[in-house]
Chains A and B, each alone.
Chain A
Amino acid sequence: MIRSLLFVPGNSPAMLQNADIHRADALILDLEDAVAAKEKDSARALVKRAIMALRFGGLPLIIRVNPPGSPYLEDDLSAMVPLAPNYVMPTKVAGAEDIRKISARIAEIEAAHGMKAGSVGLVPLIESALGVENAFLIASSDSRVQGMLLGAEDLAFDLGAPRSKAGQEILYARGRIVVAARAAGISAYDTPFTDVNDAAGLEADALFARSLGFDGKAAISPRHVEAINQAFSPTEAEIRYAREVMAAIQKGEEAGLGVVSLHGKMVDKPIVERAQRVLAAALQPGLEGEDE
Chain B
Amino acid sequence: MNKLAGTLREAIIACGLSDGMTVSFHHHLRDGDQALNQVMAEIAGLGIKGLRLEASSLFAAHAPLIEHINHGVVTSIGTGYMAGPLARAVSEGFLAEPVRFRTHGGRPAAMARGTARVDVAFIAAPAADPCGNLSGIKGPAACGSLGYAMTDARYAGKVVALTDHLLPYPLFPASISEEQVDFVVRLPSIGDPQGIVSGTTRMTRDPVALAIARLAAQAIEHSALLKDGFSFQTGAGGASLAVTQFLKPIMRRLNVKGSFGLGGITGYLVEMLAEGYFDTLLDVQCFDLKAVESIRDNPRHQEISAARYASPLAKSAAVDALDAVVLGALEIDTDFNVNVHVDSNGVIAGGSGGHADAAAGAKLALVAAPLFRARLPIIVDKVRCVSTPGDTVDALITQRGIAVNPRRPELEDRLKRAGLPVFPIGKIKEIAEGYTGIPTPIEPKGKVVGEVEYRDGRVIDVIRAIR
Bound-state Cα–Cα, A9 to B218, Å? 29
Q: What is the CB-to-nearest-CB distance from A49 to chain B, in angstroms, rounded to a whole number?
A: 12
A223 touches B249 (CB 8 A): no
6 residue pairs, one from A and one from B, having the closest CB atoms? A222-B207, A292-B249, A21-B399, A21-B211, A18-B208, A291-B249
Check: B400 CB closer than 8 A to any chain A CB. Answer: yes
Q: Is the CB of A291 within 8 A of B399?
A: no
Quick one: closest B residue to A55, CB to CB? B434
- Count of chain B residues near A, Cβ 8 A: 18
* Contacting residues of chain A (83-132) with chain B, CB-CB under 8 angstroms: none
Interface size range on A against B: 10 to 19
Within 8 A of B (CB), among A278-292: 288-289, 291-292
Main secondary structure of the interface of B (DSSP, over half): helix
Report Cα–Cα, A222/B204, bound state, in Å.
13
Decide if A22 touches B249 in the complex (CB within 8 Å). no
Q: Is the CB of A21 within 8 A of B418?
A: no
Residues B210 and A223 in contact, CB atoms below 8 Å apart: yes
Spell out B's residues near A (CB within 8 Å). Answer: 205, 207-208, 210-211, 214, 217-218, 246, 249-250, 252-253, 399-400, 418-419, 435
Assuming A22-B207, A223-B205, is B249 touching A289 (CB within 8 A)?
Answer: no
Q: A226-B214, A289-B418 are in contact. List 17 more A-B contacts (CB 8 A).
A: A17-B435, A18-B207, A18-B208, A18-B211, A22-B211, A222-B207, A222-B210, A288-B419, A289-B218, A289-B419, A291-B214, A291-B217, A291-B218, A291-B249, A292-B249, A292-B250, A292-B253
A221 contacts B249, C-beta separation under 8 Å: no
- Say yes or no: B211 contacts A291, CB within 8 Å: no
Q: Report the Cα distance A54→B253, complex, angstroms.
A: 36
| Bound-complex Cα distance A21 to B372 (A) | 14
Please give the distance in Å from B131's CB to the nearest CB on chain A.
Answer: 50
On whether A18 and B419 interact (CB within 8 A), knowing A221-B207, A291-B249, the answer reads no
User: 6 A-B contacts, Cβ less than 8 Å apart?
Assistant: A222-B207, A222-B210, A289-B418, A291-B214, A291-B217, A292-B252
Residue from the set A17, A54, A288 with the largest chain B CB neighbour count within 10 Å: A17
Bitwise, A1-44 to B at CB < 8 A (1) or not (0) is 00000000000000001100110000000000000000000000
Interface residues, chain A, with chain B CB atoms under 8 Å away: 17-18, 21-22, 54, 197, 221-223, 226, 288-289, 291-292
Contact A21–B419 (Cβ < 8 Å): no
Contacts of B250 in A (CB 8 A): 291-292
CB of B200, distance to nearest CB on chain A (Å): 14
Complex CA–CA separation, A163 to B275 (angstroms): 37
Chain A residues with Cβ below 8 Å from B218 are 289, 291
Name which residue of chain A comes closest to B222, CB basis.
Answer: A289
Bound complex: CA A292 to CA B435 (Å): 32
Q: Which residues of A contact B214 (CB under 8 A)?
A: 226, 291
Which residues of A are found within 8 Å of B211, using beta-carbon distances?
18, 21-22, 222
Asked if A18 contacts B246 (CB within 8 A), the reply is no
Residue of A17, A21, A223 ringed by the most chain B CB atoms within 10 A? A21
Asked if A18 and B399 sit within 8 Å, CB to CB, the answer is yes
